[in-house]
Amino acid sequence: MTHTDGKRRKYMNVLKKTLKKQVFRISGLVNSDCHVRFSLEAFMKRLSCRAVLTALPALLLIISSGCATGQALSAVKVQGIEGANERYTLILYREEEYFGLKTIAFLVPEGNGYSLQPYAPEYNYTTIHNISGQEGLQLAVALFHKNRDYVNYEIRRISDPGGGTVGFEIRPLYDATVEGRSDVMRVEYGLSKGGAVNVYIHLNETSMEGSVR
């Protein structure tokens, strides 16, 4: 191998690493739970540098389209859970990575035509049907207490496009002196056909950096 070939190979290796980092960064911004990360890493190792340059636009398109959230729904803070006599479906969500910071709960009134589906493996969450709002809140708080830095919680009402109630989000608040902020998550909701609501749960970047203890 000539000196010129060696320099070219070194340059191309640097280029591949840079492109891979950018792909991962963009995929993280779109959806931190997308499972393209690991397949991308293996895929990039097999690509020639010319193929990387050719494939990058397509890869970014796949990432952005594959993580599409549907029609975005809003969630606004409220004082409590409406409908004391309602029966709810409770979803308890927890990931063990990052010291369990990615923990949250959802309550959906039964029979309202909506269902929440976390964008995650099924082993990350538990579903409990036919419970009261108060029971659901108690179970959520018990789950939050598994994290030593938990200090409080807040409730958000998830609204449909017409202003009706899809359900409620119960999110933990942590010790800001430890985690850098009390509210460590960004949650997105996407309404699909048939009343299915996809839930995308992300940790804020500052929380990911601050959770290395």
User: For residue range 3-40, what is the model confidence (pLDDT) as tens digits?
Assistant: 555 655 654 555 455 444 444 444 444 444 444 443 44
- Region of 100 (left: φ > 0; alpha: ψ -120 to 50; beta: rest) is left
DSSP state of 98: G
Q: Is 213 exposed, middle or buried (0-12, 13-18, 19+ CB in 10 A)?
A: exposed
> pLDDT band for position 85 (50/70/90)?
confident
Give me the percent of the chain exceeding a pLDDT of 70: 64
Asked whether residue 182 carries a pLDDT value surpassing 90, the answer given is: yes
17 vs 129: which has the higher pLDDT: 129
Average of per-residue pLDDT across 53-69? 47
**Helices (H) and strands (E) in the chain — how many of each?**
6, 9
Longest dimension (CA), the chain: 79
